[in-house]
Structure 1
Amino acid sequence: MHVVVNAAESVDGKIATREREQLRISGPEDFARVDRLRASVDAVMVGVETVRSDDPSLTLDDESLVATRTADGKSPHPARVVADSRGRTPPEARVLDDTAETYILTSEATTDEYRRSLEEGDATPIVAGSDRVDLGAAFEALAAHGIESIMVEGGGELIFSLFAADLVDELRVYVGSMIVGGRGAPTLADGDGFVGAFPDLSLESVERLDDGVLLEYDVTDADRGD
């Protein structure tokens, strides 16, 4: 499984305000880049908090990219993946519509009723882990469904968990020209944080887009035997 984390942050490393409101950090050039990146992968992934706060569709905006995927024999849109350990994805969430295939990664802490409700709504539940989603096992299950590449769009808790599990291959960060501030404002990688054995990043490119900078890194210590 090839995993690319893509995010936009302020100069001070924030991905949202302290009230967890969605921010417009980048501009049209970066939006187009993100759409192309989405089109290049098998699935786009977020955590349940992103679904609850932003209600993203996680589908492609550019119809030419949809047409290209279709011509290549792929689904019009990449699949959508939500990490949701406790079954908190709202039934009206846009990721549960029929625009694209959707997988909900969940744990044994959810009920059979919740999993059945996902299946009745055309989403596929993948149970991995007893109390929290075991991301490594969940990714193995996704691979069995034919998903070989994933773009992760957030949020900070999920991104930290993926780095902690040594599951990230690439990191792409757009740094916009703004200051957000706030001790409680979410960052690129929240969670417990690292105090040692930090992820080993190798800077591969720097590019100016809109009024900001795109940084692309390889994660050089990702080692899953794939």
Structure 2
Amino acid sequence: MHVVVNAAQSVDGKLATRRREQLRISGPEDFDRVDRVRAAADAILVGVGTVLADDPHLTLDEEDRRVERLRNGRPGDPARVVVDSTGRTSTDARILDDAATTYLLVSATIDRERREALADAGAEVIVAGEERVDVAAGLDALADRGVDRLMVEGGGEVIFSCFEAGVVDELHVYVGSVVIGGRDAPTLADGTGFTEAFPDLTLGDVERLDDGVVLSYEVDDVEGS
């Protein structure tokens, strides 16, 4: 599976404010770029924190791209994936409608009743991990369901988990012309953080869009691992 991480951050590396409020960091040119990346993916992955905070739909914006996917024998919209260890996704979340297939990656800690409620709401529930989601195992399960190209949209905890699992192939970061600040504001890669071995990135391209830049990296390995 080829995994592409995409995110938008402030100059000081923040994804949102310390209140976890969604901000408009990029503009229409970057929104169109993100829609192109989505259209190329088989599935789009986010963490449950993003679902709870933003209630995203994660479908394509441009109808022409949806039509082109259908012409190529693919679903009109990519599948949607939520990393949700304890099953906190609301049963009326927009991501559970019938616009596209939705997979919930959960741990074995959630009970059968909750799994059934999420399944009845429209999710295909996949158990991957004992106490928390094992990202690598979850991606293996998605690969078994035909997902060859995965786009990861965040938030920071999920992005870190993907880097920690060593599954990331590309990283695209839009850096907007704004300073957010705050030691408790979410960053591109939260979680416990790396201390001795670090992801090894190679800068492949820099593109100016709106009033910011997109930095595109290839991810080689974890340095020192």
Query: TM-score, length-normalised on structure 1?
Result: 0.97
Counterpart of 1:13 in structure 2 is 13
Counterpart of 1:204 in structure 2 is 204
> Which letter does structure 2 place at the counterpart of 1:59?
T
What secondary structure, in the 3-state scheme, does the structure 1 residue paired with 2:3 have? Answer: strand
Q: Which runs of 4+ in 1 moved over 2 A?
A: none
Counterpart of 2:115 in structure 1 is 115
Counterpart of 2:86 in structure 1 is 86
Counterpart of 1:97 in structure 2 is 97
- Aligned partners of 1:117, 1:193: CA distance in 2, in Å? 34
Counterpart of 1:161 in structure 2 is 161
Query: Quick check: 1:30 aligned with 2:66?
Result: no
User: Shift in Å at residue 118 of structure 1?
Assistant: 2.0
Q: How many residues align?
A: 222
User: Shift in Å at residue 122 of structure 1?
Assistant: 2.4
Q: Which runs of 5+ in 2 are unaligned?
A: none
Output aligned runs, 1:1-226, within 5 Å. 1-221=1-221
What secondary structure, in the 3-state scheme, does the structure 2 residue paired with 1:151 have? Answer: strand
User: Shift in Å at residue 99 of structure 1?
Assistant: 0.7
What secondary structure, in the 3-state scheme, does the structure 2 residue paired with 1:89 have? Answer: coil
Q: Which runs of 5+ in 1 are unaligned?
A: none
1:3-25 C-alpha deviation (Å, 9 max, x unpaired): 00000000000000000000100
1:58-97 C-alpha deviation (Å, 9 max, x unpaired): 0001001111111111101000000000010011111011
Provide the identity percentage: 62
1:172-212 C-alpha deviation (Å, 9 max, x unpaired): 00000000000100000000111111100000000100000
What secondary structure, in the 3-state scheme, does the structure 1 residue paired with 2:199 have? Answer: coil
- Aligned partners of 1:119, 1:184: CA distance in 2, in Å? 34
- Aligned partners of 1:216, 1:14: CA distance in 2, in Å? 18
User: Shift in Å at residue 115 of structure 1?
Assistant: 1.2
CA RMSD in angstroms, aligned pairs only? 0.7
Please state which structure has a larger fraction of its residues in strand: 2
> Which letter does structure 1 place at the counterpart of 2:75?
S
Query: TM-score, length-normalised on structure 2?
Result: 0.97
On the 8 A contact 2:92/2:121 being kept in 1, the answer is no
- Aligned partners of 2:114, 2:99: CA distance in 1, in Å? 21
